[in-house]
Amino acid sequence: MFVGALVIVVATALLFTKIFQAIPPSVPLPSKVLSEPKTIGIISFRQQAKAVEGLKEGLKELGYSNITYKEFIILPSDNMMKEVAANTKTLLGEKVDLIYAGLEFQALPVITTTKEMGNNTPIIFSSAFHDPVAYGLAKSFLSSGNNATGVALNIVEVIQKQLEFLKKIKPDAQKIGVFTDGFMVPPLSDEFYPELRRQAAKFGYEVVEYTTDAPPPQAEAAWHTVAATIKPGDIDVLYHLAGHYFDSQEKSGAQEFAESELASRLKIVMVAPLEDLANGGTFGYSGDYTGAGKQSARMADKIFRGIKPSDIPLEYIKHVSLVVYPTRARQAGVEFPEFILSIADKIITEQ
């Protein structure tokens, strides 16, 4: 009787031991994927520096400690697609583990080039000026159907909010000035600008276009020629479109910087996307690119752990920020109402 009971107790103890051994510890053991060497290729414009920074910070926060980055920074131009394709071939030749495309303009030639080469290197992108499905980056938000995934900005909602804020800042504004044909690089704003026109009409604004027939190398001189003809009262708002031939790696040589000076001379509000706002503009409302970079880092983590990009749904950028420059506004004779200052994500007092 006693022996039988002892056998039962021992058997039960062994059973519980096996059960407890099968249960994983509450704190997971460090994964070797975090320390394995990885190489990430990055192709972006200078304006996407915050997104690239967010990607690197996000991976570091996730515990990755052995990543090498190979970066290409390009300027908007008619040849940028070919340049990106060449950069992609270089990165594939170096057998990078993943390619990060700063915007859709880099993502499309990267996706196309990898497909043409029969290469499945994973790609993560940001799309800030086009719907990623309509632009050809993915079959759907649920699945790209290719070797890419990424984050996107809802441009309709962003433009609507920009115009709502504009109504609060300058209620009597009627005319929005925009430098368009001949100044903007067509692939960059070919979806965004028409949407701006549609939404502006709904809000009761007239869009005034400033154009040039000058070839791209002469865009800077042409811009200054056209800007000199604009008089106070011609427009009430200056809207800066991203992606222009008049550009430079230097702040003072970028179109947004010159437009900011123009807005100050005209005593009007200037709206700019956040990636250009540091160089010029009164306020901006668009995607938080540092946050978008960290979203991309979480996608990269999934890829490094074995999930295919096509099995990772596309995401909208989770945080959209309102950033205001009160000092610049005052120089243009504009004061932000308390409502705008109370809801702004960032108030930057420097010029």
pLDDT digits (tens, 9 = 90+) for 177-210: 999 999 988 777 889 999 999 999 999 999 999 9
51, 289 contact by CB (below 8 A): yes
Does the pLDDT at position 20 exceed 60?
no
- Please state the rounded mean pLDDT for residues 222-245: 94
Measured between alpha carbons, how far is residue 272 from residues 26, 229, 277 in Å? 47, 22, 5
Domains 33-154+288-320 and 155-286+321-347 belong to one CATH topology: yes
Q: How is the chain split into domains, by residue range?
A: 33-154+288-320, 155-286+321-347
| Superfamily of chain region 155-286+321-347 | Response regulator (3.40.50.2300)
Tokens found for residue 175: 């005319």
pLDDT at res. 19: 43
- Please state the rounded mean pLDDT for residues 222-241: 96
pLDDT band for position 7 (cuts 50, 70, 90): very low
Dihedral sign for Cα atoms in the order 278, 131, 73, 94: positive
Considering the domain delimited by 33-154+288-320, tell me its CATH architecture: 3-Layer(aba) Sandwich (3.40)
pLDDT band for position 32 (cuts 50, 70, 90): confident
- Out of 27-36, 97-106, 330-339, pick the least confident: 27-36
pLDDT at res. 30: 54
223, 183 contact by CB (below 8 A): yes
Does the pLDDT at position 6 exceed 60?
no
pLDDT at res. 250: 60
Distance CA 106, CA 113 (A): 11
Does the pLDDT at position 33 exceed 90?
no
pLDDT at res. 28: 42
Please write the tens of the pLDDT for every residue from 78-91.
888 999 999 999 99
pLDDT at res. 160: 97
pLDDT at res. 145: 97
Does the pLDDT at position 100 exceed 70?
yes
Global confidence as pTM: 0.82
- Please state the rounded mean pLDDT for residues 108-113: 97
Distance CA 274, CA 262 (A): 19
Tokens found for residue 204: 């009761």
Instruction: Please state the φ and ψ torsions of residue 159, each to the nearest 5 degrees.
Output: -65, -40
- Cα Rg of the chain, angstroms: 25
200, 230 contact by CB (below 8 A): no
pLDDT at res. 47: 81
108, 137 contact by CB (below 8 A): yes
DSSP letter at 24? P
pLDDT at res. 15: 46
Residue 324 CB-density burial (10 A; 0-12 exposed, 13-18 middle, 19+ buried): buried
% of the chain surpassing 70 pLDDT: 89
pLDDT at res. 157: 95
Does the pLDDT at position 271 exceed 90?
yes
pLDDT at res. 10: 44
- Beta-strand ranges (E) seen in the chain are 38-45, 67-74, 98-101, 123-127, 148-152, 175-179, 206-210, 237-239, 269-271, 283-287, 315-316, 320-324, 346-347
44, 51 contact by CB (below 8 A): yes
